[in-house]
A and B are shown apart, each in its own frame.
Chain A
């Protein structure tokens, strides 16, 4: 009886192992005949919604001439990259065009087809640079994202025009920075101004402050929050690495973490900002509880929309990130190396690289990565001009290497405790540096 049981279990495991051995595989895809259905993935939200309108227009017009129909699939915003990761790991041909981004294109590159034969002259150079790995372009920029300082113009004007408030600010800045400072226009802030202003507009330091907190930090353990913190690091003159050696434990790296920790522990940002990201920052600005914040470019239009932000619409102004450096990344579209219909997919991608397609994308609510399209469509979104100017003048992209995506996550994991004063700064930057070095090696 026992031997029968053992035999049955053995047969089960052998069968399972054989089944496992049969799985996977997959060829290197097929060009196809250049027509038919192209399946494309996007994530829901403003970018996916805008893309859907572009795709609908293509299917109704140019697509008929090309004999191509685009099937756009919107996945969950949170899980799009996870699902694509699973598809890539199985070398699936289910999707022809993947939804990618500057921060994961290096990681995804083994499953993507280079796009070097598509004209990219209309894009911001920094956007295509961020999608180039080992001298090969693996994605076309679609929607460009960067950061700004979004601030309450009325509150800053109130400070600048009130001599008593100016004196109070000077006293607070002397206390916070060790040197007295005049209040400056946000267009000219450096990171010390940002720190002193955070203190001035917080009731913990200035009981007469019109807002409870000066700012809100996006300090959740999230890779996107690393991108915002990077602005501080770059603003102090730091970088992730030099010549392949991680430099997060530099003086600039420590200063950048210490700035966050000082703001958090002095209650110049809400204690809840330990778990804050884009929506929490938006809520803090909309509620009028903070005076300014470093925030994503996509936030500006909603904050000045009276329907979405009745308390602050018309009072929010936009300025460069203090320190004068902004991370730039592009959401992008890439060709699946294992697609069975590559030729048709390339035809669609070539169409998306035209100014006509990206103008339609801008009209549908997106922020295309083409300076000429942004300049020509400022009437659609008042931030377009600023986006174009800031990306051209002081945008940077982090180093692209196979594990860039992991690096963002690893840095957030190592530093987010220190951002909120939970972990000593030196220990956190040491751990972050070690993690980054492992990923660079």
Chain B
């Protein structure tokens, strides 16, 4: 009897403690999600605030023109390139900083600075810095006889890729560096005794042990890269034409320039549905080491 009472008390405490989480989930996850799903099936717009149910019209409308698929294609390519580069560079930087050298703290701080700048502000900064007429970088290049037009249609996509890499490599570096700090050094020492060289250690010991950390960094950056908006919107607004339109810019324009909230919600839902299957796959790999042996 006493045991049952204790069990009930424990359950009651557990329920009580879970209330904030449930409220948070309801207000900030479930409600917006349900509201978004409901809106995706209506004609809600600035011109038609009645929110009349219109079935799958919004979804048909999204795919009727190539704009959405073009945005999806550009987003996928952009995300793949920047995340791959950021992972490789972040990993390289983490290895570099995983040793002692003079001025390490200063360089560490400087390396992290870009992620502390708001992306929209970074876009504005580079719009000024790269301006052909008043920008410091073109002036510097011209002083050594180089003339480049970084905002021309042929240069603008590589420019956006470089800016994203500049801003977000420190993020992958930070996560991987944190993982390296908890790396069991005795493994490396033992392998050294066995005659393993640096690249062998890297491939057979460091990478497998850091796998969950690498997946976490990859997952977080991939999600963020797919949602890229600020820098590109500030610099190109998705153009010329729709050349640099990401999914976020497409959805923003449909909602706030076209005023078509139903279509914007439908596009958001399609993106969500396309991304959802990847989540369990990635989460499984992030959690794989943590789950082992438990």
Hey, which bits of chain A sit against chain B, CB under 8 A? Answer: 12-13, 15-17, 19-20, 23-24, 81-82, 85, 88-89, 91, 107-108, 110-111, 219-223, 270-272, 274-276, 280, 283-284, 286-287, 289, 402-403, 405-406, 409, 412-414, 416-420, 422-423, 428
Name the residue among B134, B241, B258 with the largest chain A CB count within 10 angstroms. Answer: B241
Contact B47 A107 (CB under 8 A): yes
In the bound complex, CA of A276 to CA of B259 (Å): 25
Given contacts A20-B35, A89-B46, 13 further A-B contacts (CB under 8 A): A12-B25, A17-B34, A17-B38, A270-B149, A272-B132, A272-B149, A272-B152, A405-B257, A406-B257, A413-B242, A417-B240, A420-B152, A423-B241
CA distance A219 to B22 in the complex (A): 50
Instruction: Closest B residue to A17 by CB, please name it.
Output: B34
Binds A, one of B105-113, B217-225, B231-239: B231-239
CA distance A179 to B109 in the complex (A): 63
Contacts of B243 in A (CB 8 A): 417, 422
Q: Are A287 and B133 in contact (CB under 8 A)?
A: yes
* Dominant secondary structure of chain A at its interface with chain B: helix
Residues of B within 8 A of A24 (CB): 51
Distance (Å) between the CB of A304 and the closest chain B CB?
Answer: 18
Contact A89 B241 (CB under 8 A): no
| B153 part of interface (Cβ distance < 8 Å) | yes
B236 touches A89 (CB 8 A): no
Instruction: Assess whether A274 is in contact with B153, with CB atoms less than 8 Å apart.
Output: yes
Interface residues of B (CB under 8 A from A): 22, 25-26, 30-31, 33-35, 38, 44, 46-47, 49, 51, 131-134, 149-153, 156, 235-243, 253, 255-259, 261
Q: Given A274-B152, A274-B156, A283-B134, A15–B26 Cβ distance below 8 Å?
A: yes
Q: Is A82 within 8 A of B256, CB to CB? A: yes
Please determine whether A403 and B156 come into contact, CB atoms closer than 8 angstroms: no
Nearest first, the 7 closest Cβ-Cβ pairs linking A and B are: A221-B239, A417-B241, A271-B152, A16-B30, A271-B149, A16-B34, A287-B133
A to B CB contacts below 8 Å, 9 in the list: A16-B26, A17-B38, A89-B49, A272-B131, A283-B133, A286-B133, A413-B242, A416-B240, A416-B241
Q: A275-B156, A402-B47 are in contact. Are A416 and B149 (CB under 8 A)?
A: no
Q: Contact between A422 and B46 (Cβ–Cβ < 8 Å)?
A: no
Which residues of chain B have C-beta atoms less than 8 A from A223's C-beta? 257
Closest chain B residue to A90 by CB distance?
B49
Whether A275 and B133, one on each chain, are in contact in the complex, defined by CB atoms closer than 8 angstroms, is no
Verify A221–B131 contact, CB threshold 8 A: no
Judging by beta carbons under 8 Å apart, are B241 and A422 in contact? yes
- Residues of B within 8 Å of A276, CB to CB, are 151
